[in-house]
Chains A and B, each alone.
Chain A
Amino acid sequence: AQSVSQHNHHVILSEAASLELGCNYSYGGTVNLFWYVQYPGQHLQLLLKYFSGDPLVKGIKGFEAEFIKSKFSFNLRKPSVQWSDTAEYFCAVNGGDKIIFGKGTRLHILP
């Protein structure tokens, strides 16, 4: 069965710290991979996506993610977080018509 696993449910960091959010997926075929972000009180926004090509994907707001096929992983990274990065982050995989989401990671950045 298709599934997405996010390693941490809550992460607390200080401003300027480096961030890595883990994501592993389980899917038998070709996949498209996504990270979505939901800022407090706002709707889901696409942060970045991987369809094919360079496995290191750069997204908005300084975020990047690396697709490692052998590890079935698509971890999200940012070298230096800001207070405004406080949000919930969802890893997702698209296999066919539907998107399978992870349970999300709530990131709190301390000023």
Chain B
Amino acid sequence: NAGVMQNPRHLVRRRGQEARLRCSPMKGHSHVYWYRQLPEEGLKFMVYLQKENIIDESGMPKERFSAEFPKEGPSILRIQQVVRGDSAAYFCASSRDVGETQYFGPGTRLLVL
């Protein structure tokens, strides 16, 4: 039973480029959550999605960040025109239903040069 999968595990981008982070939830899970961990900080909620729907994006920066969870395929967190402050670890979690235990993936560590 594969857990939550994320790729790539490490991503290096130059300022102004785009970053695409992928997350495949656990089998049977249709709820996906993205969190960001800045250095010396805890994880901060970004967005919660169900298949084809954004349910709660209260933690997403208003510009340059977007997320999707299409009917087929992984959830994608997209960061356009990256800046150095976007450097962080981005974690995806999934759950069977809202309010149930969230299981986390290994994270993608984004470094913006």
A residues at B contact (CB < 8 Å): 4, 32, 34, 36, 42-46, 49, 90, 94, 96-104
Contact = CB atoms under 8 A, between A and B. Distances in A.
In this complex, the interface size class of chain B, counting residues with CB under 8 Å from chain A, is 20 to 34
B91 interface: yes
A45 B55 CA distance: 25
A87 B33 CA distance: 23
A97 B105 CA distance: 18
12 contacts: A43-B91, A44-B43, A94-B99, A94-B102, A96-B99, A97-B56, A98-B45, A98-B58, A98-B59, A99-B43, A102-B42, A103-B41
A1 B73 CA distance: 35
Contacts of B45: 98-100
A43 B92 CA distance: 10
Nearest to A98: B45
A104 B41 CA distance: 7
Contacts of A44: 43, 91, 104, 107
Given A43-B91, A43-B107, A44-B91, A99 B102 contact: yes
Given A43-B91, A97-B56, A98-B56, A90 B102 contact: no
Given A32-B99, A36-B104, A45-B104, 17 more contacts: A4-B42, A42-B106, A43-B91, A43-B105, A43-B106, A97-B33, A97-B55, A97-B56, A98-B33, A98-B45, A98-B48, A98-B59, A99-B102, A101-B35, A101-B43, A103-B41, A104-B42
Interface of B: 33, 35, 40-45, 48, 55-56, 58-59, 91, 93, 98-99, 101-107
Contacts of B56: 97-98
